[in-house]
Chains A and B, each alone.
Chain A
Amino acid sequence: MPSNHLLDAKGLTMNFGGLTAVANLNFHLNKGDLVGLIGPNGAGKTTVFNMLTGVYTPSEGTVELESELVSNLKPYKITRKGIARTFQNIRLFNELSVLDNVRIAFHSRRNYPIVNAVFLTPSFFKAERAVKKDARELLSILRLEDKQDEKAKNLSYGQMRRLEVARALATNPKLLLLDEPAAGMNPQETEELTELIALIREKFALTILLIEHDMSLVMKICERIMVLDYGVLIANGTPQEIQENERVIEAYLGGEV
């Protein structure tokens, strides 16, 4: 039965001093799922992402990827196991070109010894050509191919968000974590993003977990939604169920029911 589980989070807890940001969180993701993680500001959503990707080591609990314990690994090893993410506050390599941003993410997949680079061996050139080709392919999927020589900091907001996705995809993830991908986008851009998420999910056979405040996007594309409030999972179900859930309405509107 657990063979269909891509990710298992068991009893995840994160304490910062006296503050419990996330308390005893249990959930799983099936292969191919597209799940939304929502909740009011400060509910602990990004903390969950940081625990899944190893930026924080959980105070308690474990994360398993395909039944393999990953929560004790360093972030770069977790990425290599197949969990990639984008950042809520955009963390591109600003002074580097768009192409280099993506090429950096191919690092672990197309590597060669340092000596090969220093002595310019044929295998170095071969690997570099392959990286360039792969990176351009990804950029064209994300419609950034004509921006490849531009510095990342000169991109428009929407383009930056797309570059973050391209970079995450370059690490060849099984699970993609998107942290507020539509933040700051206008309705037109959000519409395009929705299509893009569906496209890459299909094309790269991804499982996606996304944090989002834009309910039109979440309700439209997520098959399952989890709701966090004050670090506690208060609901977990289909968009329909979530919309009718009284505790969720209470958390969002703050009223008594």
Chain B
Amino acid sequence: MKNTTNKKNLDAYLTLIAGIVLVLLNVVLLAGKMPAYYSGILRFVGINIILAVSLNLINGITGQFSLGHAGFMAVGAYVSALVSIHLGWPLILALFVGALAAALLGVLIGLPTLRLKGDYLAIATLGLGEIIRVVILNLDITKGARGLGSIPRTTNIYLVELVAVITILFTVNLMRSTHGRALLSIREDEIAAEAMGINTTFYKVFAFSAGAFFAGLAGGLFAHSMGYIAPSNFEFMRSIEILVMVVLGGLGSITGSVVAAFVLTILPEALRGFAQFRMVLYSALLIAIMLFRPSGLMGTRELDVRSALTIFKSGGEKDAE
């Protein structure tokens, strides 16, 4: 009994990693032979995976409702772009500096705002995301609303997928440790978590800044992929898009975030044939999924072959919960 539990957890874990690595490897292999249009979309899939998984760390795993993810992405994008343009540093270093700046901002913002709960925190982070955007809009060095151009377009699909894998592995490994359980306990009941000896302030700020770090990385990759960024890339709707991926995939499910980021990046492109009805269909699909799977595609579970087989055998009857 005890051994099977152990084994099952390990199986689920290995399947998860193997599945992700396989999918991404295929993506990378295909990308080499693909028209630029498709490999460009795949780059966005990778960037969105990083964004969704890192937001899931804050929203789904730690239960802190944040609506400011685009703000952290913007900081990473602008800082890394400026480092590339003015200092001429190599891409990896520029990305790292951008991510670090985003993480630092995450700590600074996290300390005061994480006293807030639920709706109030959501509104505060929404405001913060907008403040970041407005600051960028009004600074000279960021060239304001005209946008920042001539960023070296050094990002490639391999680097994006590599960072995506690192983000996923970081989150999965964290989740399986005492630190991941501490984050989950905050989501479940903050007062009880504190009574169990968990420094909830530390872990909330940690989740916030780690999420911001990866969002900053995604921003840097985005900037060096586009070659041109403007404040309008990082508006409130961008945060909502990422949030939709997390909720649709299932709050707390990392595989869910990956799948949702994949589907929701490709879907608007696949629906191009419907011309102006494209976004209507996109929204209708979102509503339909939320109606039939209110806890997201994956709920809080992870993709794993064994449970998929059990569901298959029992005819998928007891799928939810």
Query: Given A91-B189, A93-B189, A117–B197 Cβ distance below 8 Å?
Result: no
Verify if B276 is at the interface (C-beta below 8 Å from A): no
| Interface 9-residue window, one of A64-72, A101-109, A183-191, A243-251 | A101-109
**Set of chain B residues within 8 Å of A91, measured between Cβ atoms:** 189, 191-192, 195
13 pairs of residues in contact across A and B, judged by CB atoms under 8 Å:
A55-B194, A74-B194, A92-B189, A93-B184, A100-B184, A103-B178, A104-B182, A110-B178, A112-B178, A114-B179, A114-B206, A117-B179, A118-B170
Name the residue on B nearest A111 (C-beta).
B178
Q: Give a binary string over B147-175; 1 marks a CB under 8 Å from any A CB, 0 the rest.
A: 00000000000000000000001100110
Task: Identify which of residues 84-123 in chain A touch chain B, using a CB-to-CB cut-off of 8 Å.
Answer: 84-85, 87, 91-96, 100, 103-108, 110-112, 114, 116-120
**Do residues B300 and A95 form an inter-chain contact, with CB atoms below 8 A?**
yes
**Do residues A79 and B195 form an inter-chain contact, with CB atoms below 8 A?**
yes
**Do residues B189 and A105 form an inter-chain contact, with CB atoms below 8 A?**
no
- Of the candidates A76, A124, A146, the one having the most CB atoms from chain B within 10 angstroms of its own CB is A76
**Do residues A104 and B170 form an inter-chain contact, with CB atoms below 8 A?**
no
**Do residues B2 and A136 form an inter-chain contact, with CB atoms below 8 A?**
yes
Name the residue on B nearest A97 (C-beta).
B5
**Do residues B188 and A107 form an inter-chain contact, with CB atoms below 8 A?**
no
Verify if B139 is at the interface (C-beta below 8 Å from A): no
User: What's the least CB distance linking B284 to chain A, in Å?
Assistant: 30
Verify if B181 is at the interface (C-beta below 8 Å from A): yes
Verify if B16 is at the interface (C-beta below 8 Å from A): no
* A119→B188 CA distance, assembly (Å): 26
Residues of A whose CB lies within 8 Å of any CB of B are 53, 55, 74-76, 79-80, 84-85, 87, 91-96, 100, 103-108, 110-112, 114, 116-120, 124, 127-128, 131, 136, 146, 148-149, 167, 170-171
Name the residue on B nearest A83 (C-beta).
B195
**Set of chain A residues within 8 Å of B7, measured between Cβ atoms:** none
**Do residues A118 and B174 form an inter-chain contact, with CB atoms below 8 A?**
yes
Verify if B180 is at the interface (C-beta below 8 Å from A): yes
**Do residues A53 and B188 form an inter-chain contact, with CB atoms below 8 A?**
no
Task: Identify which of residues 198-240 in chain B touch chain A, using a CB-to-CB cut-off of 8 Å.
Answer: 198-200, 206
**Do residues B195 and A104 form an inter-chain contact, with CB atoms below 8 A?**
no
**Do residues A104 and B193 form an inter-chain contact, with CB atoms below 8 A?**
yes
Q: Give a binary string over B101-138; 1 marks a CB under 8 Å from any A CB, 0 the rest.
A: 00000000000000000000000000000000000000
User: What's the least CB distance linking B202 to chain A, in Å?
Assistant: 9
- Of the candidates B189, B191, B196, B199, the one having the most CB atoms from chain A within 10 angstroms of its own CB is B196
Q: Beyond A91-B191, A117-B176, A136-B2: 10 further Cβ-contacts under 8 Å? A: A75-B191, A79-B194, A100-B181, A104-B185, A104-B193, A117-B174, A119-B173, A128-B177, A148-B5, A170-B196
* A105→B192 CA distance, assembly (Å): 10
**Do residues B177 and A117 form an inter-chain contact, with CB atoms below 8 A?**
yes
**Set of chain A residues within 8 Å of B174, measured between Cβ atoms:** 114, 117-118
Majority secondary structure of chain B interface residues (helix, strand, loop or mixed): helix
Q: How big is the B interface, by class?
A: 20 to 34
Query: Given A75-B195, A87-B192, A148-B5, A103–B177 Cβ distance below 8 Å?
Result: no
* A105→B2 CA distance, assembly (Å): 20
**Do residues B177 and A105 form an inter-chain contact, with CB atoms below 8 A?**
no
* A76→B195 CA distance, assembly (Å): 6
**Do residues B2 and A107 form an inter-chain contact, with CB atoms below 8 A?**
no
**Set of chain B residues within 8 Å of A170, measured between Cβ atoms:** 196
**Set of chain A residues within 8 Å of B191, measured between Cβ atoms:** 55, 75, 87, 91
**Do residues B197 and A171 form an inter-chain contact, with CB atoms below 8 A?**
yes
**Set of chain A residues within 8 Å of B2, measured between Cβ atoms:** 136
**Do residues A124 and B177 form an inter-chain contact, with CB atoms below 8 A?**
yes
**Set of chain B residues within 8 Å of A120, measured between Cβ atoms:** 173
**Do residues B5 and A149 form an inter-chain contact, with CB atoms below 8 A?**
yes
User: What's the least CB distance linking B155 to chain A, in Å?
Assistant: 24
Contact of B196 among A95, A107, A114, A131 (CB under 8 A): A107
**Set of chain A residues within 8 Å of B1, measured between Cβ atoms:** 146
**Set of chain B residues within 8 Å of A114, measured between Cβ atoms:** 174, 177, 179, 206
**Do residues B198 and A104 form an inter-chain contact, with CB atoms below 8 A?**
yes
Name the residue on B nearest A94 (C-beta).
B188
Name the residue on A nearest B199 (C-beta).
A76
